[in-house]
Amino acid sequence: CVLYLKLCALASCWRKELLLVKYEMEWTVRYFKHNHDIWVDRSSDSSLKATAYARCKAAPVLAAGSGG
């Protein structure tokens, strides 16, 4: 009986951990997409040099956020 209760508690902990990890993955993707949008906006509002820099910053952010 005690072993069963321990296993139930352990399973519950793992379910909670899985839920948290899924949310953290979603938050990470949103973070990268948000940063991409920021750099794209900055690229359209700036001088030629700043635009080039902003585009260079936006490209890897989107690639990292897309998972590949």
Q: pLDDT (tens digit, 9 = 90+) per residue, 7-24?
A: 999 999 999 999 999 999
Question: Does the residue 33 lie in any domain?
Answer: yes
Q: Which domain holds residue 68?
A: 23-68
Question: Does the residue 8 lie in any domain?
Answer: no
Q: Is the Cβ–Cβ distance between 46 and 54 less than 8 Å?
A: yes
Question: Does the residue 13 lie in any domain?
Answer: no
Q: Is the Cβ–Cβ distance between 57 and 36 less than 8 Å?
A: no
Calpha distance 31→35 (Å, rounded): 6
Question: Does the residue 34 lie in any domain?
Answer: yes
Question: Does the residue 35 lie in any domain?
Answer: yes
Q: Name the domain count of the chain.
A: 1
Calpha distance 47→36 (Å, rounded): 18
pLDDT of 52:
76
Calpha distance 37→23 (Å, rounded): 21
Question: Does the residue 16 lie in any domain?
Answer: no
Residues of the chain with pLDDT under 70: 45-46, 61-68
